[in-house]
Structure 1
Amino acid sequence: MHRLTPLSIGLAALLIALPSSVMAASDGASLYQQHCQSCHAPERLGAQGPALLPESLARLPQKAAVQVISQGRPATQMPGFAQTLSGAEINTLAAYLYEKPSAPPHWDAAQINTSHQVFNPRAQLPAKPVFTADPLNLFVVVESGNHHINILDGDKFEVITRFPTHFALHGGPKFSPDGRFVFWASRDGWVTQYDLWNLKPVAQVRAGINTRNIASSQDGRYLMVANYLPNSLVVLNAEDLSLNRVIEVTDQQGTASRVSAVYTAPPRNSFIAALKDVQEIWEIPYDKPDFPVRRLRAGDYLDDFSFDPQYRHLLATSRDSHGGQVVDLDAGKVIKKIPLQGMPHLGSGISWTWQGRPVMATPNIQQGRLSVIGLDNWEIIKEIPTEGPGFFLRSHVNSPYAWTDVFFGPNQEVVQVIDKQNLSVAKTLRPMPGKNAAHVEFDRYGKHVLLSVWDQDGALIIYNADTLEEIKRLPMNKPSGKYNVFNKINYAEGTSH
């Protein structure tokens, strides 16, 4: 089995511990410097261990951080400190991790270049797979419970290899146009390139401190990294992840902004970025050497977005539940407000043809509904009730069904199958009662569906996409996203981009 060297796992690590009596329980900064900085860096920016800043720990409740510091994390380099620190000291240390630093963290081009490593140059790797499986029907499966990736044969549903990753991958991997290379980013800014044919890491670089997601250009030459911290977009050369440039994100008045998300728009040869703190959308052509920024005025502060199939229009989610908006990218302006209730997750929206019309459906993070929108007039066609708020929606051009979870509600064990023509729930499944069912993905042919049960004793479950019968399950520790090579490189109908 081929393995990546563990590079960033655990929450806080101790190499040398002094007796707790020498440390005042009220001094979280001193506790951190004594017990954590050797792995997480003096300024909490991360090194061998991940960054320990409020932005990096946003999805980890403080009570959970106390538990991790006290008990450690199994199968990682993170030991427990219950025998070293008192309960009061552990609580003080955990509270300190959620405090903003006195000075804004800094991560510039010099630091990015210093972090850059090449493990296996592309030119030295054989240009053919080392396995017999269909390289276009592989799945990259993120096992978030213990920070691993599984490379899965999408025909036999067998794991080809499994290896550890940086802490907390986020935003979904992206692929080279031929499907050979895959790129992923961790929440604390590490971007990794991996050769799926040779099952080896190619390169890595730290492009930020708190990263939202990455996008890959259709020509295979560049990656763009969207950062919350610092406020930047980083362009990397896809060949080896070397730095191309850093684009500071500010509006024309100089107001800095976090980047909500960045995606590629293949027919436009450009990256599209939504900004979280200023009311702008940026279009950045990657077929021009200087990456000029075209600023489009947004109708609100944007959290996420998706495109229509022609990439002419952008459908964006607005902050504070103000519904959705449609931006004409050619005209550079908002042309429609969609009165969606709750908090639609348009970044997970999918499109298909219904009664001869192009439509899009989006789950809702706050309410139990799927909203179906006509792409020809931007009107809501139907609200399909579900058993709770959902996060992911997936389908395939060859399937009559769309699958949605109810990730945020009390019925987390449920996944619901939607008839795309009747616009109604065809079947409700409970894959593992009492455990959270989330995120499905189809194989390249639309014959099979892979579903995650997001639990430490969870599983990856494979269904027949037509009969909805279970075929196989693979035990895994909180499997989350899984990404089919063919569907991703072809921007297939029914999957997110």
Structure 2
Amino acid sequence: MPLIRPLKTLIAAGALSLLAVGPALAESAVELRGTGDLGVVIERATGSVALVDTTHKTVLKNIEGFGDLSHASVKFTRDARHAFVFGRDGGLTRLDLLTGEIDGRIIQGGNSIGGAISQDGRYVAVGNYEPGGVKVFDVETMELVVDVPATYKKADGTTDQAKVVGVVDVPGNMFVFSLFEAGEIWTLDMSTEEHEVTRYRDIGSMPYDALITANGRYYIAGLFGEDGMALLDLWHPEKGVQRILPDYGRGEERLPVYKMPHLEGWAMAGSQAFFPAVGRNEVLVADTRDWSLTQRIEVHGQPIFVMSRPDEQQVWVTFAHPNNDRVQVIDTRTHEVIETLSPGESILHKEFTPRGEHIWISARDSGHVVVYDTRTFEELARLPAESPSGIFFTHRAHRIGL
């Protein structure tokens, strides 16, 4: 059917308009791509992050303006478009992964340790050392939704605010976290307007970090003040907190602890859990059916991150100073160390690609990130970075607790 003249005129005019603004649009347009193969590497010395492409093993852009990243963590929004960076200076910074630009930043506290994004993607929670507590913000507007001071009663009857550690998201639109000085675990329910807080007291001395199992059932806090761990079964919270592995180091002299292990990097493999021993050159193995200790595996140094490859056939271990120049690989079937790698000086963090074929490892004092094939242990790439530490890929957006 022939076009009538007025419509032809409109189309022609529109085409001319597009031609006229085309270059400007091209310069400002976001590249048409998914975010599934993107990630960020924290560059702690410069307060910057490197935006990386995990498929092509390249650095796309170095972005500044994140403040103090001497201890930093990252969470991704539900759509994996944005990364929230939690900084040591209390900064909460939102990075647009497609534009490579910061599009929101607030100083919400004095010292932040990390955070989580809720199951429905609406809220981002920040755990604070100063002042102790949790603040929850709207992901879109970055406006404060709820402020939960971690107030507790001390032995002398006075009150104080505890440092908050181990903030994770759990099903039911809830956050769970631990109070270091108080020896407590709290849950914060964001599914109702009341934002109800439930407290579990006397869980053990000095919970220093925590994890949530992949199915969101078990929240486990490590205890620095004593041997053992505290477990909260979120399917049966009425049972309270259970102590597990209470005797794994009793009566033994610990080594000096140079850096606390990160329990977020626990390795789960079938009915086994692999986790770092505090103050010992060991990876511990527990049976998750009854949480009994079944084996100790001697390793290169004091473990910091003990992480499972997605197929659960391998566990990769990094270590604390002064033995932090190695990475060891444990076979989860034989419990033997099958490979020792030397990616560089001061190994701080590692991250598997979503299906585990590659692993990225940061070497802070060597100023690079090394990518390995996890099957052959072949080095695939070595990327420059400014004092790299944490590595975070967008597949975390779709996993509980990450």
Q: Could you tell me how far apart the structure 2 residues matched to 1:380 and 1:399 are?
A: 19
- 3-state SS, counterpart of residue 52 of structure 2: strand
The 2-side partners of 1:201 and 1:383 are apart by 45
Native 8 Å contact 1:459 1:475 kept in 2: yes
Change (3 A) 1:274 1:372: same
Q: What residue in structure 1 maps to residue 212 of structure 2?
A: 307
Q: Distance in 2 between matches of 1:396 and 1:413?
A: 20
Q: Which residue of 1 aligns with 2:139?
A: 238
After superposition, where does 1:3-402 map in structure 2 within 5 Å?
130-131=30-31, 134-164=34-64, 165-168=66-69, 170-251=71-152, 255-297=159-201, 298-329=203-234, 330-338=237-245, 339-341=247-249, 345=261, 347-354=263-270, 358-398=271-311, 400-402=313-315
* Count of equivalent residues: 360
Q: How big is each residue's C-alpha offset from its partner over 1:209-242, in whole Å with a ceiling of 9 and x where there is no partner? A: 1222121111111111111111222111111211
Distance 1:247-1:326 versus aligned 2 partners, 3 A rule? closer
Aligned to 2:370: 461
Q: Deviations over 1:145-176 (max 9, x none)?
A: 32210110011011111111212253410111
Structure 1 unaligned blocks of 5 or more: 1-127
- Which position in structure 2 is the counterpart of 1:403? 316
* CA-CA distance at 1:272 after TM superposition: 0.4
Q: What SS is found at the alignment partner of 1:130? A: coil
Aligned-pair CA distance for 1:200 = 2.2
Greater shift after overlay, 318-327 or 465-474? Answer: 318-327
Q: Alpha carbons of 1:340 and 1:437: their partners in 2 closer, same or farther (altered >3 Å)?
A: same
Please state whether the residue corresponding to 2:36 is helix, strand or coil: helix
SS at match of 1:268: coil
What is the distance in 2 between the residues matched to 1:348 and 1:369?
A: 17
Larger RCO: 1 or 2 (CA < 8 Å, sep 6+): 2
- Measure how far apart 1:254 and its partner are: 6.5
1:353-395 alpha-carbon deviations (Å, 9 max, x no partner)? 34xxx22111234211111111111011211111101211223
Corresponding residue of 1:415: 327
Q: State which of 439, 459, 475 in structure 1 corresponds to 2:349.
A: 439
Q: Which amino acid aligns with 2:96?
A: D
SS of the residue corresponding to residue 372 of structure 2 reads strand
Are the equivalent residues in 2 in contact too, given 1:395–1:441 (CA < 8 A)?
no
Distance 2:42 2:148 in 1: 29
Q: Tell me the C-alpha RMSD between the 2 structures.
A: 2.4
- Cα distance 1:353–1:135, how it changes in 2: closer, same or farther (>3 A)? same
Query: TM-score scaled by structure 2?
Result: 0.83
Q: Structure 2, unaligned stretches of length 5 or more? A: 1-27
Query: Residues 325 and 347 from structure 1, CA distance in 2 versus in 1: closer, same or farther, beyond 3 angstroms?
Result: same
Q: Distance in 1 between matches of 2:370 and 2:33?
A: 20
1:109-137 CA distance string (max 9 Å, x none): xxxxxxxxxxxxxxxxxxx9933664112
> Following TM superposition, by how much is the alpha carbon of 1:401 offset from its aligned partner in structure 2, in angstroms?
1.6
8 Å contact kept, 1:352–1:397? no
Match of 1:476 in 2: 385
Counterpart of 2:338 in structure 1 is: 426
Q: Is the 8 A contact 1:348 1:363 kept in 2?
A: no
Question: Is the Cα–Cα contact under 8 Å of residues 299 and 334 in structure 1 kept in the other structure?
Answer: no
- Alignment CA distance shift 1:350-1:263 (3 Å): same
Shift of 1:336: 2.9
1:111 corresponds to which residue?
none
Q: CA deviation at 1:413?
A: 1.3
**SS, match of residue 304 in structure 2:** coil
Change (3 A) 1:345 1:363: same
Does the 8 Å contact 1:441/1:483 carry over to 2? yes
Moved over 6 A (4+): none
Aligned equivalents of 1:482 and 1:261: distance in 2?
20
CA shift digits 1:161-205 (9 cap, x unpaired): 111121225341011111111101111101011111222222111
- 1:14 match: none
Distance in 2 of aligned mates of 1:279 and 1:208: 22
Structure 1 residues 245 and 130, CA gap change in structure 2 (3 angstroms):
same
- Contact kept? 1:373, 1:379, Cα under 8 Å: yes
Q: Which amino acid aligns with 1:390?
A: P
Return the alpha-carbon distance in structure 2 between the equivalents of residues 324 and 438 of structure 1: 24
Q: Is the 8 A contact 1:296 1:332 kept in 2?
A: no
Aligned-pair CA distance for 1:267: 1.9
The alignment status of 1:451 with 2:361, answered yes or no, reads yes
Q: What SS does the corresponding residue of 1:366 show, helix, strand or coil?
A: coil
